[in-house]
Amino acid sequence: MLKVEEQQSVGTYENPIIRPMVDMDHEQVLFCQDKATGLRAIIAVHNTVLGPSLGGTRMWTYNNEMEALNDVLRLSRGMTYKSAISGLNLGGGKAVIIGDSRKHKSEALFRRFGQFVDSLGGKYITAEDVGITTRDIEYVSMETEHVAGLPEYRGGGGDPSPVTAYGVYMGMKAAVKHQSGNDNLAGKKVLVQGAGHVGQYLVELLVKEGAKVAISDIHEDRIKATKAKFAVEVVDADKVYDADMDIYAPCALGATINDDTLSRLRCSIIAGAANNQLAEEARHGAAVMEKGIIYAPDFLINAGGIINCYSEVIGYNRDMAYRQTEDIYQTTLNILQKSADEKIPTYLAANRMAEERIASIASINQRI
Ligand code: NAD
């Protein structure tokens, strides 16, 4: 595999010297620049042992290329683990476009970006991420077929949020089963932080099962919309970490498990959709375990979205996406058991399981 440092000759837009903070062993990093459209993007292919790398494109106002590079390296590596642990035949990749998604978008920019994606010959499949809409992805798809996350009327899988919520629900039930031998959520106090796309669907599943659900959101309209549909309590956004709850379901932002919140949280299970919930994976992953809290790894239980995308790559079938998402239940149980047996944090158990799968498939990739 090519190391990132060895690819410096590929160059960058303005900065001739790129020194990423970490070497994460990526296969390929492509810097894309087009003066006519103002496109500045980076595509990172982390690992394709299991299959083509799939991961969304993020459009963000990065302060410089270094920030963008570090973000895309970190995110693409995360996708490798997410797909591997979910049993998908996909590798990990991600792209970032440097720019303001409210100001710098155009049809030409996305089509030029699509040409760069196409130049990788299917090694990278793109989709939506922060700052990117379905419309943008449709422009990308005019230049390349290596696209997922198209709307339903274009043969795509549509909004992945209900599938993601279903996976989180499965992971949560598995955590309860591991804890008590019974996966029934009835009567459990669950606090859903973030009543957004995923949060809404998760609340629906929890209420249906008889859980005592509380929600928290910084936007009043989201709270009103949720309260209009479901019998839920509301917790002020700044009181979440002191609230009385059995299960904390972070469905808003990352890094909410940190030094400050860990000293306050009174739950016994953490299971939610947000990405990168542990502020520092190693330190806070260990601290959660020491506190006796069962943490269902985020990249495992929020994989419904990527499973939905994968289904699109192989020929979209909503039922199949849900069926495969249901497997999150058993995988979560396996990981929690591995964590207990080996006395290691759950995130580490999940990482190791993903690495083991990649290594074992790498060994059969040389055909007989
Ligand atoms: P969303 O933007 O629709 O919802 C997020 C909600 O969180 C919003 O209602 C927002 O107002 C609220 N929020 C923001 N800050 C908050 C705070 N401090 N306290 C309480 N609420 C707050 O996003 P989404 O699509 O529902 O995704 C939620 C999380 O799950 C994100 O971290 C996302 O990366 C992750 N995720 C989503 C999917 C998916 O399929 N949508 C898949 C995998 C992971």
Q: Quick one: pLDDT band at residue 9, thresholds 50, 70, 90? A: very low
Tell the residue nearest (CA) to atom 35 of ligand 1: 274
Helices (H), 125-271: 134-140, 161-180, 197-208, 220-229, 259-262
Q: Supply angle C-alpha 247, 251, 253, rounded to 5.
A: 120
Q: What is the pLDDT of residue 2?
A: 33
Q: Of ligand 1's atoms, which has the minimum distance to the CA of residue 250?
A: 29
Q: What is the pLDDT of residues 172-228, one digit of tens each?
A: 999 999 999 999 999 999 999 999 999 999 999 999 999 999 999 999 999 999 999
Q: What is the pLDDT of residue 150?
A: 86
Q: Is the pLDDT of residue 34 over 90?
A: yes
Q: What is the pLDDT of residue 118?
A: 98
Q: What is the pLDDT of residue 24?
A: 75
Q: Is the pLDDT of residue 364 over 60?
A: yes
Q: What is the pLDDT of residue 365?
A: 86
Mean pLDDT, residues 331-360: 98
Q: How many CA atoms lie within 13 A of 323 on its CB side?
A: 6
Tokens of 125: 């499949």
Distances (CA, A) of 182 to 119, 173, 186, 346: 50, 9, 11, 20
From ligand 1's centre to the CA of 117, what distance in Å? 27
Q: What is the pLDDT of residue 22?
A: 56
Q: Is the pLDDT of residue 10 over 70?
A: no
Q: Are 263 and 241 in contact (CB under 8 A)?
A: no
Helix (H) or strand (E) holding 186: none
Burial of residue 180 (number of CB atoms within 10 Å: 0-12, 13-18, 19+): exposed
From ligand 1's centre to the CA of 42, what distance in Å? 25
Distance CA 362, CA 352 (A): 15
Catalytic residue list:
94
Burial of residue 291 (number of CB atoms within 10 Å: 0-12, 13-18, 19+): middle
Please tell me if the CB atom of residue 197 comes closer than 6 angstroms to any atom of ligand 1: yes
Distance CA 319, CA 355 (A): 28
Q: Is the pLDDT of residue 264 over 90?
A: yes
Pick from 86, 130, 197, 202 the residue to mutate for probing ligand 1's pocket: most ligand atoms within 8 Å of its CB.
197
- In our burial notation (b when 16+ CB lie closer than 10 A, e otherwise), range 145-175 reads ebbbbbeeeeebbbbbbbbbbbbbbbbbbbb
Mean pLDDT, residues 230-244: 97
Mean pLDDT, residues 40-61: 97
Q: What is the pLDDT of residues 289-315, one digit of tens each?
A: 999 999 999 999 999 999 999 999 888
Q: Is the pLDDT of residue 20 over 60?
A: no
Q: Quick one: pLDDT band at residue 3, thresholds 50, 70, 90? A: very low
Q: Is residue 324 helix, strand or coil?
A: helix
Mean pLDDT, residues 39-46: 98
Pick from 74, 101, 134, 218 the residue to mutate for probing ligand 1's pocket: most ligand atoms within 8 Å of its CB.
218
Please tell me if the CB atom of residue 162 comes closer than 6 angstroms to any atom of ligand 1: no
Please tell me if the CB atom of residue 203 comes closer than 6 angstroms to any atom of ligand 1: no
Please tell me if the CB atom of residue 305 comes closer than 6 angstroms to any atom of ligand 1: yes
Q: What are phi and psi of 56, to 5 degrees?
A: -70, 170
Q: Please report, rounded to a whole number, the percentage of residues in the chain having pLDDT higher than 70.
A: 94
Full set of structural domains in the chain with CATH: 4-79+91-154 (3.40.50.10860), 161-303+330-354 (3.40.50.720)
Q: What is the pLDDT of residue 127?
A: 94
Q: Quick one: pLDDT band at residue 19, thresholds 50, 70, 90? A: low
Q: What is the pLDDT of residues 114-165, one digit of tens each?
A: 999 999 999 999 999 889 998 999 999 999 999 998 888 888 888 899 999 9
Q: Is the pLDDT of residue 15 over 90?
A: no
Rounded to two decimals, the pTM is: 0.90
Terminal-to-terminal C-alpha distance of the chain: 22
> Going by DSSP bridges, is the β-strand pair 53-54/91-98 parallel, antiparallel, or unpaired?
parallel
Q: What is the pLDDT of residue 295?
A: 98
Per the prediction, the chain carries an average pLDDT of 92
Q: What is the pLDDT of residue 21?
A: 54
Q: Is the pLDDT of residue 17 over 50?
A: no
